[in-house]
Structure 1
Amino acid sequence: MPEARAGGGMPGLAWSGISDKASYYRLFAGYVVALVATGIATVALALVAFDLAGEESGAVIGTALSLKMLAYVLAAPVVAILTSGIPRRRLLIALDLLRAGCLLLLPFVSEVWQIHALVFVFALASATFTFVYLAVVPYLLGNEADYYRSLSRSRVAAELEGPISPLLAGLLMVVLSVAGIFTLAAAGFVLSALLVRAARLPRTLAAPPGGIWRRLTRGPRLFVAVPAFRAIIAMDVVAALGTAMVMVNTVVIIQGVLDREIGSTASAFAFLGAGSILGALVLPLVLLRIRDRDVMLAGALIVVASLASGGLGFGIAGLLLRWVAIGFGVVWTVTPATYVIRRLARPSDLQVMMAAQMTLAHVCLLIAYPIAGFLSAWASIPATFLILAALSGLATLAMIRLWPRDVAPDV
């Protein structure tokens, strides 16, 4: 039973067999430089918040990060519509320069609201850059294997940014002031803009018909209409619940339940990152041999099993292994979604579909984070593991029902 194509039955972007690898690598290098600069700036932001708010700086940072998430959730689809007429290279360069400008202003803020405003603009530019990048890459890589490898590279880069950026920021603090760190991070975005400028990127595609509201809701409507895309939403739920358990409750488990030092907390996050990197490295080879639907299902089952095992009790060694497994499983659960969208979406809808997927994934995280936090506060940690495992299991069953094994979207 063939799957319906997203966007009115038109075929997705075909494999041309021709790749512009030079442009792709320049664009990817710009993406990586921007990732590292963002991580360094996030650490420096904590210093600015402390100077302004002192002991209440945690609330300032928490609010700023919430605004960042809201920028991804609420603004990404809107910006996808409003920028559809701008050439891709010009848009990406403008977004890099906008982010650089925000960082150069941050050392001079004198009010908390100014931090929040700059962080929101910065996050909006970052969200837009990310989904434009994801939408452009398929046009630069006309070979299936090359595209698989690009997905792996992007995931590895995102995972390595977590541990590398704080390390670089710590080293920079020894020799630079806060203003100097922001200036260096801003220079990173200028370098990213130069790398983008050196790449040959496709110009904008024709916008889909209809008014602003119809175009704004097109991505979500297509996700609801196509069973494979609804299955992707279910996978986003699984990934969000696994990620939320780790990000929200690692400190509670290690320093509260297990009574370990902060070094063990750092190790736990490192093990999560190691699992994610391992999953990303082997994913391209697996996707060439196994259907993306089956790979996503395997990743979801790994997350469900890892969460369920937490209800049986744990020590530090078991927790670290569990975090490795969750990191591995989350990568397999969500990364192939980009490939599915690339195959099923019409070329003119590709950017909107990428934006819709990013928005839905962040919505799932916005919901999963408080669930994981409230459960650990109101119930025991083992009960939290089991409840999140049950919710993840239900989402996995929904994926199986929405995307049966005999359905082949690429037919």
Structure 2
Amino acid sequence: MRLFAIRDYRHLFTAQVIALFGTGLTTVALGLLAYDLAGPRAGMVLGTALTIKMVMYVLIAPLAAAYVDRLPRRTLLVLLDVIRGAVVLVLPLVTEVWHIYVLIGLLQAGSAAFTPTFQAVIPDIVTDESDYTRALSASQVASTMESLLSPVLAALALTFMSFNWLFLGTSAGYLLSALLVLFTRIPNARPSAHTKAWEKAAAGIRTFFQTPRLRGIMALNLVVAAAGSIVVVNTVNYVRDELGGSQSDVAWMLAASGTGTLLAALVLPRVLDRIAARTVMMTGAGVLAGATAAGVSLLASGFATWTGTVIIWTATGIGMALIITPTGKVLRASVERNAIPEAFAAQFSLSHLAWLITYPVAGWLGTKAGFTLAWSVLTVLAGAGAIGALLLWPRHDGRGATSPVAGPRHASGADRSTLSKAA
């Protein structure tokens, strides 16, 4: 594959895969740690921890983008990997719930700076348009494989060791990722058109509010967060308390969602070459809205079953992939090249703002009032996001509703102006 013939991309992709698998193990272990410390209140603890994560992402990501062109990006990425590895190494030692909150805040502050910087590096290394599209899909497949295989590996590991050992795998993953980035040639960021840090931090967010297709993506972010928060926050308590499952069963149920994402990600690269990103993403919104509604129906029936839960979790994984995978392509088509870091940072921040809304609903409301009410609220949010995306993102956008998104990189100045207005 021509994409993986690019040495620096190959190094970065491998670093991403290793770090993702470490993070996946932490996701499973963190839920079990919360259950170990708080029992039936684990959903509330996990919801609080993930809310802290979202606050860090929303606040720090735009600031990271604002200063990234003033720092050597390779050094920054390596340093952030090392910091995250050190923080995760301490997590097995916690004995109080508030310890989790402090360490998660530190960990996610590092991730909030790392992820948009990493995303913005890829288009500087993979310059061909078709290769970049495949790089986005490869990144999604990597995330998919992590969401599928990490819970499986965790389930196997938990049969003969304590979940605390999973944190060690995460720490090792971050450090190995740092080594790979260290031996990658990463160009420094191009100077932004904005000179002041606040202008740069606000520029990407302003672009989202000014561009109809990006306003549509903001609405789709809410759909993803509403459905995804059920899987991320509620799986541990739902499987342990409602279905009577074990620690390993929690991991296997998370793997069901990963399987759905994998099924979608395997076919999306070819699909996105022929079908408009808008069509694919709106389909994903419909799948997610339907999955959350099905979850409420399952609870309301009073007969929560393993089969029904697996189907809903798998559908959720499919819907999330249909929305998340094309997002990078749409972002790149909507801004000039030197504004790519700001756009990715804005999407990173705005998407996690949606999770900041839905995590407390799944965690706090789910614990206090039960899953049925919490999931009903999340279903309403998912439906509102899907309807909002349809209204905010014009059907005939750029090159049309049935064509893939056109990127400004290969367009003339006049064409870019037309594209921007059409968007």
Deviations 1:101-159 (CA, angstroms, capped at 9, x unpaired): 43456677798766644432322222222111111112222333332332232223223
1:341 CA displacement: 0.6
Q: Is the contact made by 2:144 and 2:262 (CA closer than 8 Å) also made in structure 1?
A: yes
Alignment-mate amino acid for residue 190 of structure 1: L
Mapped to 2, the partners of 1:390 and 1:108 lie a distance apart of 39
Deviates more, 1:394-403 or 1:383-392: 383-392
State whether residues 148 and 256 of structure 2, in contact with CA within 8 Å, keep that contact through their aligned partners in structure 1: no
Distance 2:131 2:356 in 1: 33
Partner of 1:302: 287
For the structure 1 residues 64 and 260, does the alpha-carbon distance in structure 2 shift closer, same or farther, using more than 3 Å as the test? closer
Aligned to 1:367: 357
Relative to structure 1, is the Cα distance of residues 176 and 83 closer, same or farther in structure 2, using a 3 angstrom cutoff?
Answer: same
Distance 1:102 1:247 in 2: 21
The Cα of 1:267 is off from its aligned counterpart by 4.1
* d(CA) in 1 for partners of 2:231, 2:118: 28
Aligned to 1:5: none
Task: Give the 3 Å change call, closer, same or farther, for CA 264–63 of structure 1 in structure 2.
Answer: closer
In structure 2, C-alpha distance between the alignment counterparts of 1:289 and 1:399, rounded to whole Å? 21
Is residue 9 of structure 2 the alignment partner of residue 24 of structure 1?
Answer: yes
Please give the TM-score of this superposition, normalised by the length of structure 1: 0.80
The equivalent residue for 1:290 is: 275
2:68 and 2:189 in contact (8 A); partners too: no
Q: What displacement does 1:99 show?
A: 2.4
Q: Confirm whether residue 144 of structure 1 aligns to residue 129 of structure 2.
A: yes
**Counterpart for residue 245 of structure 2:** 261
Q: Which runs of 5+ in 1 are unaligned?
A: 1-16
Deviations 1:37-77 (A, max 9, x none): 334456667899899x7989958766544433322222111
Q: Does 1:156 align with 2:141?
A: yes
> How many Å separate the matches in 2 of 1:226 and 1:321?
36
TM-score (norm 2): 0.78
| Counterpart-to-counterpart distance in 2, 1:334 and 1:91 | 26
Match of 2:416 in 1: none
> What SS is found at the alignment partner of 1:119?
helix
Distance in 2, Cα, partners of 1:184 & 1:294:
39
| Superposition RMSD in Å | 3.7
1:171-228 CA-partner distances (Å, limit 9, x unpaired): 49968996x8766644433321221133222222102324332222222111111111
Q: 1:279 aligns with which of 243, 264, 270?
A: 264
SS of 1:207 mapped into structure 2 = coil
Q: 1:354 aligns with which of 344, 350, 355?
A: 344
CA distance in 2, matches of 1:336, 1:173: 37
Distance 1:319 1:46 in 2: 18
> Structure 2: where are the runs of 5+ without partners?
399-404, 407-418
Q: Percent identity?
A: 36
Q: In the alignment, does 2:315 pair up with 1:325?
A: yes
Contact 1:277 1:328 in 2 (8 A): yes
Task: Give the conservation status (yes or no) of the 8 Å contact 1:19–1:140.
Answer: no
Residue equivalent to 1:204: 189
2:382 maps to 1:392: yes
The one-letter amino acid of 1:328's match is I
Residue 125 in 1 paired to residue 110 in 2?
Answer: yes
| Structure 1 residues 116 and 368: alpha-carbon distance in aligned structure 2, compared to 1, 3 A threshold | closer
- Tell me, in whole angstroms, the C-alpha distance in 2 between the residues paired with 1:57 and 1:83: 39
Q: Partner letter of residue 388 of structure 2?
A: A
Q: Structure 1's 267 and 103: CA in aligned 2 closer, same or farther, altered over 3 A?
A: closer
Aligned residue type for 2:225 = A
- Letter of the aligned partner of 2:315 in structure 1? A
Identify the range of structure 1 (111-120 vs 31-40) with the bigger mean alpha-carbon deviation. Answer: 111-120
Select 2:65's aligned residue among 49, 56, 80: 80
Aligned residues: 391
Give me the whole-angstrom Cα distance separating, in 2, the residues matched to 1:104 and 1:377.
32
Secondary structure in structure 2 of the residue aligned to 1:401: helix
Q: Distance in 2 between matches of 1:27 and 1:151?
A: 13
- Equivalent residues of 2:257, 2:316 under 8 A apart: yes
